[in-house]
């Protein structure tokens, strides 16, 4: 704690400390003029600056200043590009500084447990490693411009249904490996100035007063140095929040929160030390914001728009390109169908909704690339799901006259948003119908999609091209044109599985739960961890995406075939662009543990890289795998543990397209505590050579030279082995027909514990 903060804390009254921990408005903290403590301002994110003009701040979710609307997280994640995330963060930091915003409320790293979650457009992935790597670089980018971030929503905010009250019931290993680990990596690697606690409960306690999450894990275990801010309206009991490690209540509770804190300190139910700790963290970030305040930044909106276009293009995923129907040629007769071509859906609904200063539409951007007249038909209404036979007829008429038809489709705003979940994976029936009908009259159909999360594609076999844009931000129309005409070679890969049908999803039976209880009964089997373990064929797998060129993987080398869990495994491979155009390839590295004695997914993503390659160019890609790449969260020791054994290193172009494989042996250096009891299975003892030796010596003392097998009929029959394997020590009395009595069994147990 700096001396300045120490001195200030001493001067502050309880009232003032409580005030600094209570929002002053929708977006600002209190200033304490007497002590020259300034206010700070925060505003949403995550994919653009949503700052409300000061005079309009009191209204709920009012209009906001013009800003650049970048692609939303579900699109960004498909870039698998750390540098791109950092560059976007820098741009957001510039815009926030320019608008005097001290903290940008993002990124959101909640895991996509179900594709139905209404806010999945705002989240990165079903995989915590991918989410954390991208989010960490976003945070570093924003904070490099002297603006804080707010990593959200901590934790397990994986549905919108009853989000302010629902209790997410999650076993500890699942919580650690899936729902906390994205937050962990970002906190440890990027130190977001703030973390935003979630609305929901976690295992029976509101996230806003969950000491285990906010203090034990976040502060003490992971070392978070900033403060925790509540989600807007997430506070349950303010004094409990302070005690648990929630430093700031937002928005203003008009004095209620402050009063609750002061009363609790006065009546002794809240220690002043707890309040001091909270106030100290607040002051640290407030003065950090002041120190980092800059007025030298004059960013160019056009430059940021171009960056948004580059990011969108590098995030789009080419899902199908039959007969290389893409890229388009300038002289082809093309038809454009679908309202989204002229009225793009480029972002999601709710607190992240940006007021974009410019929005490209794909139709206008496509027109710039073609030297032909570009026909257009609306195809469907965005306001209704009903077929419009006239619109469909016009679209078919157009389709008959052109070489290729590009159909823009996806999810209208009303289908997904903050505040509610979807109840289907389908896109509006009138769009499915339009695609079917148009593809019938023109086989050269290409579908360009705008959706915040997975959808089904009943027409997939009837079209030749599918380009998944997700929610591409304000420059998405131009980005789509860049890809469709081949000015950009698509390089995105899916950051989540597209299932064939909703009921294939592992959370299907338990989402969104019953009233205010949702049990994560699928455990660690989220996304590809489930589909790959169960060998369920997805519509499109995690990590999948096509390019206009091809890549060859070769020469996977691991430096050592055997390491301990304290060592790092260095490995390398070669990737070559075997095509005739420049491209970028996302290489994925999974670890599989076929010998595991604990339940584990078939494979798990542990590293990735995105490389750019000129035609014919080959590069060596290097990775390092440390302990966590082989570890699981062992709840017996409440720590990450690596089991000794052989692990497969799988390198692939997607989770279902493994190109190279090597095996490495990892030796654990951690002795798991083990207590022998009368219920220890004999088989477990015999499986451990050291224990077996001690056990047999002990037994021979009691069995006068005959060994266990002789005692058990003198033959090592399979049946006997099987019986022994699952026989608790206490059953020796019965099996030895009294040669060993219960007291002696208890002596054996004691000696085993003393000798091992
Ligand atoms: C919202 C969201 C959160 C946002 C905050 C401020 O309810 O859950 O992500 O940052 O309130 O708008």
207 lines ligand 1 (CB under 6 A): no
CATH code, 245 = 3.20.20.300
The answer to whether residue 340 is domain-embedded is yes
- pLDDT of 734 reads 83
Let me know whether 233 and 198 are in one domain: yes
Summarised one tens digit per residue, pLDDT across range 649-665 is 999 999 999 999 999 99
For 599, other C-beta atoms within 10 Å of its C-beta total: 11
Q: Is the CB of 122 under 6 A from ligand 1?
A: no
Residue 711 φ/ψ, nearest 5 degrees:
-60, -35
In the chain, the N- to C-terminal Cα span, in Å, equals 46
Report residue 661 as tokens.
Answer: 């494989």
Is 52 a pocket residue for ligand 1 (Cβ < 6 Å)? no
Number of domains forming the structure of the chain: 4
Among 641, 667, 693, residue at a domain's last position: 667
Per-residue model confidence (pLDDT) at position 35: 97
Q: pLDDT class for 716, splitting at 50, 70, 90?
A: low
Is residue 637 domain-resident? yes
How many Cβ atoms from other residues are within 10 Å of residue 7's Cβ? 11
Q: How large a percentage of the chain has pLDDT more than 90?
A: 89
pLDDT value, residue 60: 61
Q: What is the pLDDT of residue 613?
A: 98
Closest ligand 1 atom to Cα of 106: 10
- Rounded CA-CA distance 406/231 in Å is 41
Residues 645 and 689 in one domain: no
Domain that includes residue 621, residue range: 551-667
> Could you tell me which of 191, 83, 195, 193 has the C-alpha nearest to residue 147?
193
Q: pLDDT digit string (tens) for 89-98? A: 999 999 999 9
Which ligand 1 atom sits nearest the alpha carbon of residue 251? 6
Measured in degrees and rounded to the nearest 5, phi and psi for residue 19 equal -70, -40
Q: Are residues 283 and 310 located together in one domain of the fold?
A: no
Identify the CA nearest to 602 among candidates 556, 651, 653, 655: 655
Which stretch of DSSP H or E encloses residue 743? helix 742-755
Lowest pLDDT segment from 62-71, 225-234, 384-393: 62-71
* Cα of 231 from ligand 1 centre, angstroms: 6
pLDDT digits (tens, 9 = 90+) for 311-333: 999 999 999 999 999 999 999 99
Q: Are 606 and 617 in contact (CB under 8 A)?
A: no
User: What residues contact 491, with CB distance under 8 A and at least 6 apart?
Assistant: 79, 314, 545, 547, 583, 584, 585, 586, 610
Encoded tokens for 365: 């951007």
Domain membership of residue 83 (yes or no) is: no
Cβ within 8 Å of residue 651, ≥6 positions away: 553, 556, 573, 587, 588, 589, 590, 658, 659, 660, 661
Q: Which residues of 458-496 are buried (b: 16+ CB within 10 A; e: fewer)?
A: ebeeebbbbbbbbbbbbbbbbbbbbbbbbebbbbbbbbb
- CB–CB of 448/345 below 8 Å? no
Are both 258 and 332 inside the same structural domain?
no
Average pLDDT of the segment spanning 477-482: 98
pLDDT at 707: 61
Angle, helices 429-441 vs 389-400, to 10°: value is 30
Residue 441, classed as helix, strand or coil, is helix
Evaluate: CB of 351 within 6 angstroms of ligand 1: yes
Alpha carbon 713 to its chain centroid, in Å, reads: 57
Q: How far is the CA of 399 from the centre of ligand 1 (A)?
A: 44
Statement: residue 468 has pLDDT above 80: yes
720 and 639 co-located in one domain: no
pLDDT level of residue 718 (50, 70, 90 thresholds): confident
97 vs 180: CA distance, rounded Å:
30
Active-site residue among 231, 360, 385, 482? Answer: 231
pLDDT at residue 245, rounded to an integer:
98
What Å distances lie between residue 736 and 708, 713, 739, CA to CA?
Answer: 8, 10, 5
Upper half-sphere CA count for residue 236 (Cβ side, 13 Å): 19
pLDDT of residue 724: 78
pLDDT tens for each residue of 249-279: 999 999 999 999 999 999 999 999 999 999 9
Q: Do residues 128 and 78 lie in contact, with contact meaning Cβ atoms separated by under 8 Å?
A: no
Which of the listed residues 502, 534, 566 is the one where a domain comes to its end?
A: 534
pLDDT tens-digit profile of 35-90?
Answer: 999 999 999 989 999 999 877 776 566 789 999 999 999 999 999 999 999 999 99
pLDDT at 705 exceeding the cut of 70: no
Task: Please tell me which residue, 22 or 687, carries the higher pLDDT value.
Answer: 22
With respect to residue 92, please indicate whether it lies within any of the assigned structural domains. Answer: no
pLDDT computed for residue 735 by the predictor:
78
Could you tell me if residue 651 is inside a domain? yes
Instruction: From 263, 291, 319, give the residue that closes a domain.
Output: 291
What's the confidence (pLDDT) of residue 686?
Answer: 86
With a 6 A CB cut-off, is 457 part of the ligand 1 pocket? Answer: no
In this predicted model, what pLDDT tens digit does every residue of 390-443 receive, in sequence order?
A: 999 999 999 999 999 999 999 999 999 999 999 999 999 999 999 999 999 999
Confidence of residue 597 (pLDDT cuts 50, 70, 90): very high
Instruction: State whether residue 647 is helix, strand or coil.
Output: strand
- Cβ-based neighbours of 151, under 8 Å, separated by 6 or more: 107, 109, 135, 139, 183, 186, 187, 192, 194, 195, 196
Q: Is the CB of 151 under 6 A from ligand 1?
A: no
Residue 369 confidence (pLDDT) = 96
Give the pTM.
0.96
Is residue 22 pLDDT above 70, yes or no? yes
- The reply to whether 231 belongs to the active site is yes
Q: Are residues 480 and 572 in the same domain?
A: no
Calpha distance 600→592 (Å, rounded): 9
Q: Please, how many CA atoms are within 13 Å of residue 139, restricted to the half-sphere of its CB?
A: 28
Specify whether 717 is located in the same domain as 624. no
- Residue 163 Cα: closest atom of ligand 1: 8
User: What confidence category does residue 645 fall into, taking pLDDT thresholds of 50, 70 and 90?
Assistant: very high
Residue 744 within any structural domain of the chain: yes
**Residue 52 CA to ligand 1 centre (angstroms):** 14
Residue nearest to atom 11 of ligand 1 (CA): 232
Asked if 256 and 238 touch (Cβ cutoff 8 Å), the reply is yes
Number of residues that this document lists for the chain:
756
Whether residue 475 is contained in a domain is answered as yes
What does the radius of gyration of the chain's CA atoms come to, in whole angstroms? 29
Q: What pLDDT does residue 262 have?
A: 98
Closest CA relative to residue 603, chosen from 548, 662, 679, 531:
531
Q: What is the DSSP letter of 224?
A: -
Q: What is the CATH number of the domain that holds 528?
A: 3.40.50.1700
- CA-nearest residue for atom 8, ligand 1, is 231
Question: Do 451 and 346 meet the contact criterion of CB atoms below 8 Å apart?
Answer: no
Mean pLDDT over 284-308 rounds to: 96
Residue 50 sits at φ, ψ, to 5 deg, of -110, 80
> 547 in helix, strand or coil?
coil
More reliable by pLDDT, 695 or 679: 679
| Candidate of 60, 105, 148, 199 to mutate for ligand 1, largest count of ligand atoms within 8 Å of Cβ | 105
For residue 56, what pLDDT is reported?
A: 75
In a domain, 145, yes or no: no
The verdict on the CB of residue 105 being under 6 Å from ligand 1 is yes
- Reported as a pLDDT band with limits 50, 70 and 90, residue 719 is confident
């Amino acid at each position: 704690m700096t001396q300045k903060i120490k001195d200030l804390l001493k001067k502050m009254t309880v009232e003032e400390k409580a005030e600094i921990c209570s929002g002053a408005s929708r977006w600002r903290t209190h200033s304490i003029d007497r002590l020259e403590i300034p206010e700070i301002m925060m505003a949403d994110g995550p994919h653009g600056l949503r700052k409300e003009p000061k005079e309009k701040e009191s209204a709920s979710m009012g209009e906001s200043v013009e800003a650049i609307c970048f692609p939303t997280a579900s699109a960004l994640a498909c870039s698998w590009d750390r540098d791109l995330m950092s560059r976007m963060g820098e741009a957001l930091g510039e815009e926030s500084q320019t608008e005097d915003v001290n903290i940008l409320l993002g990124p959101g790293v909640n895991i996509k447990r179900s594709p139905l979650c209404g806010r999945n457009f705002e989240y990165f992935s079903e995989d915590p490693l991918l989410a954390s790597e991208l989010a960490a670089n976003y945070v570093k980018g924003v904070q490099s411009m002297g603006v804080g971030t707010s990593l959200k929503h901590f934790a397990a905010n994986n549905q919108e249904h009853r989000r302010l009250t629902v209790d997410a019931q999650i076993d500890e290993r699942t919580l650690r490996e899936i729902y906390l680990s994205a937050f962990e990596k970002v906190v440890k690697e990027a130190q977001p100035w703030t973390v935003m606690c979630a609305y929901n409960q976690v295992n029976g306690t509101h996230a806003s007063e969950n000491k285990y999450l906010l203090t034990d894990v976040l502060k003490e275990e992971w070392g978070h140095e900033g403060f925790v801010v509540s989600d807007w309206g997430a506070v349950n009991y303010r004094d409990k929040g302070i005690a648990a490690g929630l430093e700031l209540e937002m928005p203003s509770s008009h004095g209620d929160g402050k009063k609750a804190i002061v009363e609790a300190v006065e009546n002794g139910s809240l220690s002043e030390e707890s309040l001091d700790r909270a106030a100290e963290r607040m002051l640290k970030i407030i003065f950090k914001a002041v120190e980092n305040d800059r007025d030298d930044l004059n960013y160019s909106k056009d430059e940021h728009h171009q960056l948004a276009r580059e990011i969108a293009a590098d995030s789009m995923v080419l899902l199908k390109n039959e007969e290389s129907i893409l890229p388009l040629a300038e002289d082809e007769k093309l038809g454009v169908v679908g309202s989204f071509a002229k009225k793009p859906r480029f972002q999601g609904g709710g607190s992240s909704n940006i007021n974009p200063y410019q929005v490209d539409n794909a139709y206008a951007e496509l027109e710039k690339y073609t030297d032909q007249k570009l026909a257009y038909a609306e195809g469907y209404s965005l306001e209704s799901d009903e077929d419009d036979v006239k619109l469909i007829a016009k679209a078919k008429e157009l389709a008959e006259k052109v070489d290729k038809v590009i159909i823009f489709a996806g999810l209208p705003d009303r289908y997904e948003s903050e505040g509610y979940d979807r109840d289907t994976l389908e896109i509006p029936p009138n769009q499915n119908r339009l695609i079917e009908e148009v593809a019938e009259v023109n086989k050269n159909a290409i579908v360009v999609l705008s959706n915040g999360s997975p959808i089904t594609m009943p027409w997939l076999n009837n079209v030749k091209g599918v380009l998944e844009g997700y929610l591409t931000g304000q420059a998405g129309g131009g980005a789509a044109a860049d890809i469709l005409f081949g000015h950009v070679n698509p390089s995105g890969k899916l950051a989540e599985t597209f299932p064939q049908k909703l009921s294939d999803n592992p959370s299907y039976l338990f989402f969104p739960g019953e009233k205010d209880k949702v049990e994560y009964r699928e455990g660690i089997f989220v996304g590809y961890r489930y589909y790959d373990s169960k060998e369920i064929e997805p519509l499109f797998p995690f990590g999948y995406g096509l390019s206009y060129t091809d890549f060859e993987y070769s020469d996977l080398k691991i430096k050592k075939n055997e390491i301990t869990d304290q060592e790092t495994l260095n490995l390398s491979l070669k990737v070559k662009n075997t095509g005739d155009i420049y491209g970028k390839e996302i290489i994925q590295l999974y670890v599989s543990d076929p010998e595991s004695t604990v339940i584990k997914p078939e494979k798990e993503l542990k590293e990735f890289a995105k490389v750019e390659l000129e035609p014919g160019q080959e590069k060596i890609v290097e990775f390092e795998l440390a302990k966590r790449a082989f570890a699981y969260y062992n709840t017996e020791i409440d720590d990450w543990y690596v089991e000794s054994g052989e692990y497969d290193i799988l390198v692939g172009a997607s989770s279902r397209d493994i190109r190279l494989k090597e095996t490495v042996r990892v030796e654990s250096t951690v002795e798991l505590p083990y207590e022998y009891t009368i219920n220890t299975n004999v088989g477990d003892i015999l499986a451990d050579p050291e224990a077996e030796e001690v056990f047999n010596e002990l037994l021979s003392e009691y069995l006068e030279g005959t060994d266990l097998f002789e005692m058990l009929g003198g033959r090592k029959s399979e049946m006997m082995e099987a019986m022994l394997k699952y026989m608790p020590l206490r059953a020796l009395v019965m099996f030895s027909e009294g040669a060993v009595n219960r007291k002696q069994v208890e002596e054996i147990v004691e000696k085993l514990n003393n000798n091992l």
